[in-house]
């Protein structure tokens, strides 16, 4: 199986090769369309200037003059009307030229061999050392007519440039491949570390080390991975804590039920004790029932949003009915309850939202101080509805505030003086509020109290 490193190198080199081929064809097209006509016209002007000079200066020696011209970088072919021909400068690789072309130029026309040279490749078009790839012009000297064919001596003029561009191309390719190989190694190394870290997480080891000093996408990915690892570690810790807590929460009522059931078998106990034992057994059964209901509800919320049955309902009336239900518990703890709840309608699931208010109110009662207070208010603010629960209970420290909505998390039971909670209530609250596109805010201070604000969209 090819590694990402090999794939990246191969793809990069492939892109370089493809880009070079495309650039070559684009350059060839530009040469054929723009540069070749310009080059043809330029060589034509030079050839005509030679013929003009020879025509005006009959005393010059034509052969010596053409040899001088060829020495400065031109290949020349000269033919007269009787077929006598001469070559000056570097030899042509291919001297094939039709008789019709020679007669055409001898007759006074200009032959544009460079312009009409076959449009094949860039090298063939510009560097082809062929006689037909020339400019042919009529030349008259001392009353004698000639046909002069001329082209630049590319090898003489650009021989050093050939080597220069050849070495430049070779070094560019070699250095590009080397740099791609090393740079890819630098890019792939963090991904290899992430792969190793992923395997470590799969084995249950959350203490992974990654390079987070990079300020690019891979650095951001490493940051996100470490945050994920930390979150997974917290979830694993919470899971272990939950297993421990839930095992205790289930085992403790079952042990009590079993113990008191055994006591009930004793016929010598008084009716008063028997009633007391039955009350305790019923209380433990209620605890188990509440726990299983919360577990089932949370599982249902996770499985599907189809659980929600939204409809318009009077939220204020729902809260007032809930308060009447728990009035006896509030009075029993001698808690002062104040509320400002106007009749207001919202669109939501009445049953699920009632679960939210039930959890928040029971927490406010359970963790409140004797002779404490609870304030409940409902306020419309713009397009949102704010439902506030404020109590003077034991409050939360900063760590607890960060985690109270985590599933199975419970605050310090020693500090709260109760172990009745399952750590699922506020997680259920958070999930339901999220399903209603709402938000929940917590402001709490240890030994002072807690304020929880639920923000719901009105529509």
For 55, the domain range is 4-159
pLDDT tens-digit map of 169-227: 778 788 888 877 777 777 777 777 777 888 887 777 777 777 667 677 777 777 888 88
Torsion angle of C-alpha atoms 450, 451, 452, 456, degrees rounded to 10? 180
What is the domain-level CATH number for residue 61? 3.30.450
Longest Cα–Cα distance in the chain: 155
| Domain endpoint, select from 109, 133, 159 | 159
Q: Which of 159, 191, 219 is the last residue of a domain?
A: 159
Task: Please state, in angstroms and rounded to a whole number, the distance separating the CA atoms of residues 109 and 26.
Answer: 33
In which region does residue 296 sit, left (phi positive, over 0), alpha (psi from -120 to 50) or beta (all else)?
alpha
Q: What angle do CA 247, 426, 231 make, to 5 degrees?
A: 75
Identify which of 449, 450, 408 has the alpha carbon closest to the alpha carbon of residue 428: 408
Q: Do residues 153 and 90 make contact, with C-beta atoms less than 8 angstroms apart?
A: yes
Q: What is the DSSP letter of 89?
A: S
Q: Is residue 185 part of a domain?
A: no
Give how many domains the chain has, as a whole number: 2
**pTM score:** 0.47
What DSSP element (H or E) covers 71? helix 62-71
Identify the three-state secondary structure at position 41: helix
Q: Is residue 415 part of a domain?
A: yes
Asked if residue 37 is part of any domain, the answer here is: yes
Q: Which residues contact 80 (CB under 8 A, 6 or more apart)?
A: 106, 144, 145, 146, 147
Torsion angle in degrees (nearest 10) through CA of 276, 279, 284, 288: 170
**Phi, psi (rounded to 5 degrees) for 311:** -165, 160
Query: Given this model, what pLDDT does residue 1 score?
Result: 39
C-alpha closest to that of 73 among 95, 46, 112, 44: 46
28: Cβ contacts below 8 Å, ≥ 6 apart: 121, 122, 125
The per-residue pLDDT string of the chain (459 residues; one tens digit each, 9 = 90 and over) reads 356 667 777 777 888 888 888 877 887 787 788 888 888 899 999 999 999 998 888 888 999 999 999 988 899 999 998 889 999 998 998 999 999 999 999 999 999 988 888 766 555 567 788 899 999 999 998 889 999 999 998 876 665 555 666 677 778 788 888 877 777 777 777 777 777 888 887 777 777 777 667 677 777 777 888 888 888 887 777 777 767 767 776 777 788 888 888 888 887 888 888 888 888 888 888 878 877 877 777 777 766 556 678 889 999 999 999 999 888 888 888 899 999 899 888 888 898 899 899 989 999 998 888 889 999 999 988 888 999 999 998 888 888 888 788 766 666 544 444 445 566 788 888 988 988 899 999 998 888 899 999 999 877
Domain boundary among 144, 159, 174: 159
- pLDDT in the model for residue 173: 80
CATH code of residue 323: 3.30.565.10
224 found inside a domain: no
Q: Which residues pair with 373 in a beta bridge?
A: 336
d(CA 300, CA 322): 23
Task: Note whether residue 398 is domain-resident.
Answer: yes
Residue 83 lies in a domain: yes
């Amino acid at each position: 199986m090819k590694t990402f490193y090999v794939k990246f190198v191969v793809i990069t080199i492939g892109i370089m090769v493809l880009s070079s081929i495309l650039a070559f064809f684009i350059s060839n097209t530009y040469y054929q369309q723009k540069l070749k006509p310009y080059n043809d016209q330029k060589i034509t002007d030079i050839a005509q200037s030679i013929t003009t000079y020879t025509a005006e200066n009959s005393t010059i020696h034509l052969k010596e003059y053409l040899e001088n011209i060829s020495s400065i970088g031109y290949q020349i072919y000269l033919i007269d009307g009787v077929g006598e021909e001469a070559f000056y400068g570097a030899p042509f690789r291919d001297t094939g030229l039709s008789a019709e072309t020679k007669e055409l130029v001898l007759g006074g026309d200009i032959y544009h061999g460079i312009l009409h040279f076959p449009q094949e490749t860039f090298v063939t078009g510009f560097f082809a050392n062929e006689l037909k790839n020339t400019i042919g012009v009529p030349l008259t000297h001392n009353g004698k007519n000639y046909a002069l064919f001329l082209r630049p001596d590319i090898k003489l003029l650009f021989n050093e440039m050939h080597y220069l561009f050849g070495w430049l191309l070779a070094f560019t390719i070699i250095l590009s491949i080397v740099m791609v190989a090393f740079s890819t190694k630098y890019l792939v190394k963090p991904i290899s570390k992430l792969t190793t870290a992923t395997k470590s997480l799969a084995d249950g080891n959350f203490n992974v080390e990654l390079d987070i000093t990079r300020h690019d996408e891979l650095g951001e990915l490493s940051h996100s991975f470490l945050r994920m690892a930390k979150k997974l570690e917290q979830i694993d810790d919470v899971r272990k804590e939950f297993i421990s807590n839930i095992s205790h929460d289930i085992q403790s009522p079952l042990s009590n039920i079993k113990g008191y059931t055994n006591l009930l078998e004793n016929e010598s106990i008084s009716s008063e004790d028997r009633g007391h034992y039955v009350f305790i057994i019923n209380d433990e059964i209620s605890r188990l029932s509440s726990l299983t209901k919360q577990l089932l509800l949370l599982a249902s919320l996770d499985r599907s949003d189809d659980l929600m049955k939204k409809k318009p309902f009077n939220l204020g009336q729902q809260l007032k009915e809930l308060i009447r239900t728990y009035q006896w518990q509030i009075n029993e703890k001698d808690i002062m309850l104040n509320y400002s709840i106007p009749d207001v309608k919202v669109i939501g699931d009445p049953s699920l939202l009632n679960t939210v208010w039930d959890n928040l109110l029971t927490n406010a009662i359970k963790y409140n101080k004797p002779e404490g207070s609870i304030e409940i208010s409902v306020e419309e603010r713009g397009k949102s509805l704010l439902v506030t629960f404020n109590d003077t209970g034991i409050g939360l420290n900063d760590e607890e505030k960060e985690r109270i909505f985590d599933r199975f998390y419970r605050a310090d039971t020693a500090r709260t003086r109760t172990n009745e909670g399952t750590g699922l209530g506020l997680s259920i609250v958070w999930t339901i509020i999220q399903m209603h596109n709402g938000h929940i805010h917590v402001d709490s201070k240890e030994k002072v109290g807690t304020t929880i604000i639920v923000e719901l969209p009105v529509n």
